Structure 1
Amino acid sequence: MLVRIFPFLEWLKDYNFAKLKADAIAGLTVALVLIPQSMAYAQLAGLPSYYGLYASFLPPMLAALFGSSRQLATGPVAVVSLMTSASLSPLATAGSDSFIAYAILLALIVGVFQFLLGVLRLGLVVNFLSHPVVNGFTNGAAIIIATSQLSKMFGVSVDEAHHHYETVIRVIEAAIHYTHWPTFIMGVAAFIIMFGLKKINPRIPNVLVAVAITTAISWAIGFENDMRVDISRIQSPKVHEMIATFNKTLNDISELSKQRTENTKLMEEAKKNNNKIDMLNIKRNEEVLNVNMEELK
């Protein structure tokens, strides 16, 4: 019974140096792949990159000790990241403190459900999902994930549309006129490194090497250009006005995001109390907030 709860007790009995060496190599291999992968998945979920690192190092350790399968990969995955972003985007602005808090809460709730499904032995429910459905969902997610990175590839920024394909069209239109060529060249170089290393030696962690090389190049040439200049050094009054307007807009958007988050909480309370008048007022406030947000954008 104890071994079923703590599976690692079984393989600790005959653990030796040879197995430790093999585990060390396996751990290093997983880390080399997981570090850049988890950072990308965090961005896909609308979170800062370093949150991907937080989410990637603990699950594999727990899975190694308590997991029942040695082949099952444990950690952040693209589809879950995509669904996280889609679920939380209506509630808060991606990357904001509220968004991060919602993401942590969502992860906790999903974890509780997964734990209960495991305890109740309900994994067999997956058998009712037909293969074409799973294939369609996976391929659709892959297309969305790939196309969602086009703006980063071309170095352009566009407003997100109601439908994903509309956002992609906006990105393509922006890329035709405003492609940031250094960013595009850096992206192409990363692809060349990854595919080239895969052809030369598939055992080389091509993604990590590409990240390391492009990061080193970026640092060496000052690609980020993250400089802080006092606004008083800018002489053009027009530029002063543009910066002031931009900063004010950012502050207004942040304030509206907080109001929208608070409005969502009030709506939940109104629904719980079945207060239809409050629900109508809150819905009206939400529409006003959305209009104001669109005007600021």
Structure 2
Amino acid sequence: MIGRLLPGLAWVRRYDRTALQGDALAAVIVTIMLIPQSMAYALLAGLPPEVGLYASMAPLLAYALFGSSSTLAVGPVAVVSLMTAAAVGDLAAVGTPEYRGAALALALISGLFLVILGVARLGFLASLLSHPVISGFITASGLLIAASQLKHILGIEAGGHTLLELLQSLGAQIDAVNGPTLAIGAGATLFLFWVRGSLKPLLVRAGLGPRLADSLAKAGPVAAVIVTILLVDQLALQAHGVAVVGAIPQGLPPLALPPLDPELWRQLLPAAVLISVVGFVESVSVAQTLAAKRRERIQPNNELLGLGAANIAAGVTGGYPVTGGFARSVVNFDAGARTPLAGVMTAAGIGLTALLLTPLFHQLPKATLAATIVVAVLSLVDLGALKRTWVYSKADFAAMAATIAVVLGAGVEAGIVTGVALSLVLFLVRASRPHMAVVGQVPGTHHFRNVKRHAVVTSPQILSLRVDESLYFANARWLEDRLYDMAVADPALRHVVLSCAAVNDIDASALESLEMLNERLEAAGVRFHLSEVKGPVMDRLKRSDFLAKLTGQVFLSHYDALAALDPETTQKASAGSRPERSAATL
């Protein structure tokens, strides 16, 4: 019972010392990684740095209770932070109480929407976002986020919601670049790139164990934070124009409801839905990948509840929308996390930081946080996916390229909507023109293959076809016309046999088209037959009068159909020598 209500507690009965050690080590490493990262992402969302810390506490506790992954690390992430800034920035000015209130409301709305999806068991709806669209969206968002952080690294004022606007704004202010800020920002960026790619191998060669070396490498952002804080303090760089984080309130997150203004909620709802779906897809993909390595299972509907609870918790504790982060989840997994208790311990570590250590970040340069974001998001950029997708599928490439172009040219919300819409359109186009092949018998076998790909035997009086798609309203009329045109084109034809081996469903529109096709073929003196109809499909056909009006028969197998309608040709083909196996596809 408890396992169903609170799946995150399923680990309690099997918890032991080994799991505790793994969880504790993972919590320490993720906490060190998350402190600068969460503050940086809050600034990306247009919020004070402490909001990032708040969004890394209560959401972790809520997910630990309701989520199904043992290693997913929930908190602020770059893409959701960018989407938050885009959604809230249209309603209020950055730095105002209204802006912060709208961010809280956005988190609460997102959480409620995810919970509703989870209760209704609608996790499958996330499949509307195809992988090329998600890949294109993340790639474009990474480029947009990196461009948006250049102003902090250069020490200038710039803004814009699109890549062109950002670049034009940066170009207009390029003469005002602050030298000390650029030195800190560029130095921190280069250092973090070096840490990410080269520090671990260097430490291993120096004699450290791989696990310790990896842990030290993950602490690179903390080293950058400490060094740059000391530089600003010792060299009085704030007086030379270096922007710093400033005072960060000490204490745990406040408990308060966000604004409950109906008009505000109505305006935020579309963005909340997009943030929820994008965050859910990203989280589930990461959680499933990590779970597979330990032969564990993820329940998508429980993930909806877990992420929904996390966002509701963020909305009432001073945070903003959160989701499962790829980088920190992988770190959590690699560091040895065994259960959601690792997330609880991480929340405790962030809580202690908010209570005791925030004064230490007063002189933290914003350029350092910007460098942290740039290095994190550029690792998500995968321009090579464009080439791979182009080679494999031009239609998927179109969806990916359109998503990238619109995100960069019009903004994140327009980009993801465009990608989803284009994916659905391309799906309908493909489904409305299903693959259909004329098939013949492979000599010496009872198998039937495409006449264009294999050396097969066909009967002059039988049109033998295979359709590789379920039949429904989008393709029914096309299939009806195509079959009829092929049948009447040959005066010697007496039978049409449609193999339904790949047909999993026939909806009412398709049934009507089959009935019309049956009548049209009968008028042309051609009988219409079906073969290999699946049980559920046959059950539905029996509930109509189609079978009673069918001019032909329904055969158990395609071979049975050809053997009954043209036994001489079928027997000769069966007795013939079997050709060498073809490497062609079916």
Fold match (TM-score > 0.5): yes
Report deviation, 1:102. Answer: 0.9
User: Which ranges in structure 2 are unaligned for 5 or more consecutive residues?
Assistant: 201-213, 242-260, 268-586
Write out aligned runs for 1:268-287 (5 A): none
Report deviation, 1:44. Answer: 0.9
Counterpart contact for 2:144–2:162, Cα < 8 Å: no
Q: Does 1:218 align with 2:217?
A: no
Report deviation, 1:94. Answer: 0.8
Write out aligned runs for 1:19-98 (5 A): 19-98=19-98
Who is 1:15 aligned against?
Answer: 15
More strand by share: 2
Q: Please state whether the residue corresponding to 2:145 is helix, strand or coil.
A: helix
Partner residue of 1:182 out of 180, 189, 192: 180
Counterpart contact for 2:86–2:161, Cα < 8 Å: no
Q: Does 1:192 align with 2:190?
A: yes
* 1:190 partner amino acid: A
Q: Does 1:167 align with 2:179?
A: no
Q: Deviations over 1:39-63 (max 9, x none)?
A: 1111111101111000012222322
Q: State the distance in 2 between where 1:162 and 1:10 align.
A: 44
Q: 1:161 and 1:15, CA in 2 relative to 1: closer, same or farther beyond 3 A?
A: closer
Counterpart contact for 2:82–2:145, Cα < 8 Å: yes
Q: Deviations over 1:56-100 (max 9, x none)?
A: 122223223331012433111111111111111121111211100
Q: 1:71 and 1:11, CA in 2 relative to 1: closer, same or farther beyond 3 A?
A: closer
State the aligned residue count.
230
Q: Please state whether the residue corresponding to 2:121 is helix, strand or coil.
A: coil
Report deviation, 1:162. Answer: 6.5
Who is 1:115 aligned against?
Answer: 115
Counterpart contact for 2:33–2:221, Cα < 8 Å: yes
Report deviation, 1:180. Answer: 0.4
Report deviation, 1:31. Answer: 0.8
Who is 1:104 aligned against?
Answer: 104
* 1:207 partner amino acid: P
Q: 1:126 and 1:19, CA in 2 relative to 1: closer, same or farther beyond 3 A?
A: same
Q: 1:169 and 1:30, CA in 2 relative to 1: closer, same or farther beyond 3 A?
A: same
Q: State the distance in 1 between where 2:89 and 2:188 align.
A: 29
Counterpart contact for 2:188–2:224, Cα < 8 Å: yes
Report deviation, 1:220. Answer: 2.0
**Alpha-carbon RMSD:** 2.4
Q: Does 1:206 align with 2:220?
A: yes
Q: Please state whether the residue corresponding to 2:173 is helix, strand or coil.
A: helix
Report deviation, 1:139. Answer: 0.9
Deviates more, 1:81-90 or 1:58-67: 58-67
* 2:183 partner amino acid: I
- TM-score of the superposition, structure 1-length normalised? 0.71
Report deviation, 1:7. Answer: 2.7
* 1:168 partner amino acid: L
Q: Please state whether the residue corresponding to 1:93 is helix, strand or coil.
A: coil
Q: 1:131 and 1:9, CA in 2 relative to 1: closer, same or farther beyond 3 A?
A: closer
Q: 1:163 and 1:8, CA in 2 relative to 1: closer, same or farther beyond 3 A?
A: closer
Report deviation, 1:103. Answer: 0.7
Counterpart contact for 2:44–2:78, Cα < 8 Å: yes
More helix by share: 1
Residue identity over aligned pairs, in percent, reads 39
